Amino acid sequence: MYFDGAFARQGAGAGTVLISPTQDKLYYAVQLCFQRGEKVSNNIAGYERLMASLKAAVALGVKRLTIKGDLQLLVNFSNKVYEPRDKHMEAYLVEVHKMEKQFLGLELQHVPRRTNKEADDITTRASKRLP
């Protein structure tokens, strides 16, 4: 699974490309809505996307999953390489670790942005409210 999240002035969005063992692809886009004044960043949009992607994978019956994203900070938090410095990011991390228990195997990997192009394109369209 490749995922990405973005926050911009025009909106926030998240995109996922779930690839089956037979190389079939499922594209998943989410428009994220935050309340005025709510703390929002690319990392927060990324975590929102990751959580929605994990929930979708569970609903599809996926038991083993390799997750690839280009937000290195997010991957490092989730893999316990870095410790979050604020309670907001720590709360997302707790939720990811709860979701991990739904899988027999779950691995997060950092990939270069150019490798994550499909998820990035979906995210851009979602954040701009495009079809």
- Report which of 49, 70, 48 is spatially closest to residue 114, judged by C-alpha positions: 70
pLDDT of residue 107: 87
- Whole-model pTM: value is 0.76
Catalogue all structural domains in the chain, each as residue range(s) with its CATH number: 2-127 (3.30.420.10)
| Phi–psi pair at 6, nearest 5 degrees | -145, 150
Percentage of the chain lying above the pLDDT 70 cut? 87
The rounded distance, in Å, linking the Cα atoms of 28 and 106 is: 19
pLDDT in tens, 117-130: 888 888 777 777 77
pLDDT in tens, 72-114: 766 776 667 667 777 877 888 888 889 989 999 988 888 888 8
The rounded distance, in Å, linking the Cα atoms of 5 and 71 is: 9
The rounded distance, in Å, linking the Cα atoms of 118 and 96 is: 23
| Cβ 43 vs Cβ 85: under 8 Å | no
| Cβ 1 vs Cβ 115: under 8 Å | no
Percentage of the chain lying above the pLDDT 90 cut? 12
pLDDT of residue 85: 74
| Cβ 50 vs Cβ 3: under 8 Å | yes
